[in-house]
Amino acid sequence: MEIKLKHVGYTYSLNSPLEFTALQDINLAFPTGKFTAVVGKTGSGKSTLIKLLNGLELPTTGEVTVGDQVITNRTKAKQLKQVRKNVGMVFQFPENQLFAETVLKDVMFGPLNFGKSENEAKELAEKWLAEVGIQASLFEQSPFELSGGQMRRVALAGVLACEPEVLVLDEPSAGLDPAGNQNLMQLLKKLQTERGMTIIMVTHSMENVAEFADQVLVMKNGKVIADETPREL
């Protein structure tokens, strides 16, 4: 599933004294089945950009197209359920994404929300928790008693259990040791090659970019200043 942005701008606190334009006239595509890395300095607008990709924030100007659905500043929340199912997102601070009393219940929530039965949701949760490397002994524990790296993995399992077509990750390697990073990157590569998943990853790791990305977007001051293959950088 492809995502395209046409003349997209985003302004925080529009029409208030705190108004701040974080994105300006962004035009780009995240092609189906490709691995796109988004890089750029702190504050350049990376997290703002990706929050627009599943309708979590609506563009202030322009339009975001996800598959055949067009999202503008007039789009209503109830029109976004399918987009939220298709585009799975792991945030920069995934602890904000965890809420249930146990790890297993947390990961089951998404599939249940999207219409799976209790049994199906449990099966999906167990499968994806294993894929991200969370051992079964942690399933009944509170997600808030985990380490930062484990919380990130549980949040990722929760997103993957919804079987999205597009996976968006905001700095997923933060806090992972080198082995954890390799495991994560190999899993993403497998999702791309075996399931044709479109992967979009914000990262500060140029090693991950060089090894895994098909396309690299470089952001600066709310604009995309380069759109290249890693070899061209």
Q: Which residues lie near Mg ion (CB under 5 A)?
A: 47, 92
| Shortest distance (Å) from residue 171 CB to ligand ATP | 7
Which residues between 3 and 32 bind ligand ATP (CB under 6 A)? 12-13, 20, 22
Comparing CB distances to ligand ATP, the nearer of 45 and 110 is 45
Which residues between 80 and 99 bind ligand ATP (CB under 6 A)? 92
Q: Each residue of 188-217: b (16+ CB within 10 Å) or e? A: beebbeeeebbbbbbbebeebbeebbebbb
- CA 172 to CA 185: how far, in whole Å? 9
Q: Which does 42 bind (CB under 5 to 8 A by kind): ligand ATP, Mg ion, none?
A: ligand ATP
Size of the site for ligand ATP (CB under 6 A): 13
| Shortest distance (Å) from residue 145 CB to ligand ATP | 26
Comparing CB distances to ligand ATP, the nearer of 59 and 110 is 59
Q: Which does 20 bind (CB under 5 to 8 A by kind): ligand ATP, Mg ion, none?
A: ligand ATP
Q: Calculate the CA 141 to chain-centre distance.
A: 25
| Shortest distance (Å) from residue 157 CB to ligand ATP | 23
Tokens standing for residue 136: 């079964």
Element spanning 81, H or E: helix 81-86
Q: Which stretch binds ligand ATP (CB under 6 A): 29-37, 44-52, 73-81, 154-162?
A: 44-52
| Shortest distance (Å) from residue 46 CB to Mg ion | 5
- CA 50 to CA 45: how far, in whole Å? 9
Per DSSP bridges, beta strands 215-220 and 3-12 are unpaired
- CA 85 to CA 74: how far, in whole Å? 20
Give the other-Cβ count within 10 Å of 113's Cβ.
13
The conformation of residue 198, written as its DSSP 8-state character, comes to: E
- Residues of the shown chain interacting with ligand ATP in the complex, contacts defined by CB under 6 A: 12-13, 20, 22, 40, 42-48, 92
